[in-house]
Amino acid sequence: MKIFKDASLKEELNKILDLGTVLAGDNKEYEFFILNDSEGELVDLNFSFNNDEVTVISFPSSLKSNETGKLVIKWSPSITIKKGLKTDLNIKGFEIYSP
């Protein structure tokens, strides 16, 4: 599975997302694109963060081989972080292969 910043799948990211800076009390939504680069189908997908201020708005629950889905998250900081927020993206799910 690969994560991209853009729908054209040119700006690949790692699982540590840099959300930049958002002022305390504000909200900002982000869109990322998830590519299933495996030969199997990914099912029962779940995306989460270790930071309580970052929430998942929508995500693909399954992806067929070479299919792309959109992950939308929201950051609602309680304090303004001078250097911005970098947070780990946790992904769980199952990979199913058909004979």
Distance CA(82)–CA(92), nearest Å, equals 31
Q: pLDDT digits over 35-90, tens only?
A: 999 999 999 999 999 999 999 999 999 999 999 999 999 999 988 877 888 999 99
For 1-99, strand residue ranges (E) read: 2-4, 12-13, 16-20, 28-35, 41-49, 54-58, 68-75, 85-96
pLDDT in tens, 4-35: 999 999 999 988 899 999 888 899 999 999 99
Q: What is the pTM of this model?
A: 0.90
Domain boundaries, the chain: 2-8+15-91
Give the architecture-level CATH label for domain 2-8+15-91: Sandwich (2.60)
Cα separation, 51 vs 20, in Å, equals 14
